[in-house]
Amino acid sequence: MTLVIAIDGPSGSGKSSVSKAVARRLGLAYLDTGAMYRAATWWCRHQGVDLADAAAVEAAVARMPLEMGVDPDSPSVHVGGEDVGAAIRTTEISTAVSAVATNLAVRDELRRLQRAAIDGEKLDGFSGGRGIVAEGRDITTVVAPDADVRVLLTASEEARLARRARELHGSDGAGAVEATRDQIVRRDADDSTVSQFHVAADGVATVDSSELDLEQTVNAVLAVVAELAPAAAPTDEVGTGRTDA
Ligand code: DC
């Protein structure tokens, strides 16, 4: 059976770490769709395109030579053969990416590539046809609304700010949290204008990770998988923290 797992959530919800771990546990491919929006932003900058010029951004993204590596042990992003894995994580790109991610023509193009990657895993991609975990903001609702398992990963704003502050600044003290606020609160407000990722759509299970560590959150997602796609899930895990939409 080919399994498609869609995971959405806001910044700092732990989506990437959880999605990678779930893919690893189940032997699936892993697609980071946020990295595709980041790569598009990097590419526009690299090409000298003004991010405020929507038509120029659309044209640049349409010819972006993007290659996504979907091994959850070493996910990679290449543009024109150049490894941009580190370059797309800089504060400069994090600050600018919403301008590209709110361009509706860019979203159409990247969704087309995302669906192609998901369909490729159903055939004979990295996973050998086992399937894929795709994470982002609109995977459960627009990119793959017919996925076998759909999860919205949430966490309180406080928990998300503290988590990202520890990642970026190595501390969750007041100064570090304030320095992180733009990355979480402003960006999610901008991104919310084009995607709904704070409330689960019908049929999407919610996992709230505010009080859970990584392992517990992974187990909660695996428990959803065990319920909705029992043939695919490992049988030795019992999860917590999940509520139905
Ligand atoms: O998850 P992230 O921070 O790497 O996402 C980067 C940006 O891309 C963020 O501003 C939200 C946007 N995004 C989106 O609009 N739709 C997706 N499916 C994934 C990410």
Distances (CA, A) of 122 to 43, 51, 164, 234: 29, 35, 33, 20
**Structure-token pair, residue 59:** 């044209």
Distance CA 146, CA 203 (A): 10
If we measure between CA atoms, which residue out of 165, 157, 243 comes closest to residue 207? Answer: 243
Distances (CA, A) of 83 to 42, 68, 79: 11, 10, 7
What residue owns the CA closest to ligand 1's atom 4? 34
**Dist. CA 126 → ligand 1 center (Å):** 23
Q: Is the pLDDT of residue 244 over 80?
A: no
pLDDT tier for residue 236 given thresholds of 50, 70 and 90: low
Does the Cβ of 138 fall within 6 Å of ligand 1?
yes
From the CA of 35, give the closest atom in ligand 1.
Answer: 4
- Phi first, then psi, for residue 57 (nearest 5°) are -65, -45
CB hemisphere CA count around 214 (13 angstroms): 11
Task: Give 175-206 pLDDT, tens digit per residue.
Answer: 888 888 888 888 888 888 888 888 899 999 99
**Dist. CA 134 → ligand 1 center (Å):** 12
List, in order of start, the domains of the chain with CATH numbers: 3-244 (3.40.50.300)
- Average the pLDDT over 111-136 and give the result: 95
- Average the pLDDT over 27-37 and give the result: 98
**Dist. CA 232 → ligand 1 center (Å):** 28
**Residue 121's pLDDT is what?**
94
Using the 8-state DSSP alphabet, how is residue 1 labeled?
-
Report the chain's mean pLDDT, rounded to a whole number: 92
- Average the pLDDT over 36-43 and give the result: 98
From the CA of 138, give the closest atom in ligand 1.
Answer: 18
Q: Which of 37, 91, 95 to mutate to test the pocket of ligand 1 (most atoms within 8 A of CB)?
A: 37
pTM over 0.85: yes
pLDDT tier for residue 245 given thresholds of 50, 70 and 90: very low
Name the burial class of residue 116, with classes exposed (0-12), middle (13-18) and buried (19+) by CB atoms within 10 angstroms of its CB. Answer: exposed
Q: Is the pLDDT of residue 234 over 80?
A: no
What residue owns the CA closest to ligand 1's atom 8? 34
Q: Is the pLDDT of residue 102 over 90?
A: yes
Q: Is the pLDDT of residue 240 over 60?
A: no
Distance CA 214, CA 220 (A): 10
Task: Give 147-162 pLDDT, tens digit per residue.
Answer: 999 999 999 999 999 9
Distance CA 224, CA 151 (A): 8
Residue 71 in contact with residue 23, Cβ under 8 Å? no
Distance CA 207, CA 175 (A): 29
From the CA of 38, give the closest atom in ligand 1.
Answer: 6
pLDDT tier for residue 243 given thresholds of 50, 70 and 90: low
- Average the pLDDT over 116-123 and give the result: 94
**Residue 238's pLDDT is what?**
46
Burial 144-154 (b: 16+ CB within 10 A, else e): beebbbbbbbb
Task: Give 69-83 pLDDT, tens digit per residue.
Answer: 999 999 999 999 999
Does the Cβ of 187 fall within 6 Å of ligand 1?
yes
**Residue 232's pLDDT is what?**
78
From the CA of 101, give the closest atom in ligand 1.
Answer: 15
